[in-house]
Amino acid sequence: MPADLSQLATTLDLPEPALRAAIGWHEGMAAGEVAKRAAALADVVGTVGPWAGSAGRALAWFQTQPLPGFGGQTAEGLLKAGRVDALRHHLARLSDGGYA
């Protein structure tokens, strides 16, 4: 695992294997892409954590909750599809009192 991802796991107080699994990291993936996905994951979990009650619940939401506005895709699916900006916009709308 690249050192920056290892450091992120420490900063987030997450086990490295859990972080790797959450962001879909694998050998051969460019370190910049790993860092980009990890930052997006941290941003989303940080946004959803207070609504969900904990970072663990926010991560579970990230991985499993279908988002109707995105054809039932999960936040994880959006991240993997490179649609992080759309996800951030969606979360901003929700935080402003909008509907999913």
- Asked, for residue 61, whether it belongs to a domain, the answer is yes
Compute how many other C-beta atoms are within 10 angstroms of the C-beta atom of residue 72. Answer: 10
Angle value at C-alpha 52, between 51 and 57, nearest 5 degrees: 155
DSSP character for 88?
A: H
Reported as a single tens digit per residue, the pLDDT across 63-97 is 899 999 899 999 989 988 989 999 999 999 888 87
Domain coverage including residue 31: 3-95
Spatial CA neighbour of 89 closest among 21, 78, 80, 81: 78
Is the pTM value of this prediction over 0.75? no
Q: Total domain count for the chain?
A: 1
CA distance 76 to 94: 17
- Asked, for residue 8, whether it belongs to a domain, the answer is yes
- Asked, for residue 100, whether it belongs to a domain, the answer is no
Burial of 45 (0-12, 13-18, 19+ CB in 10 A): buried
Reported as a single tens digit per residue, the pLDDT across 3-56 is 566 777 776 777 888 877 776 666 666 666 777 888 888 888 889 989 899 888
Token reading at 30: 């460019």
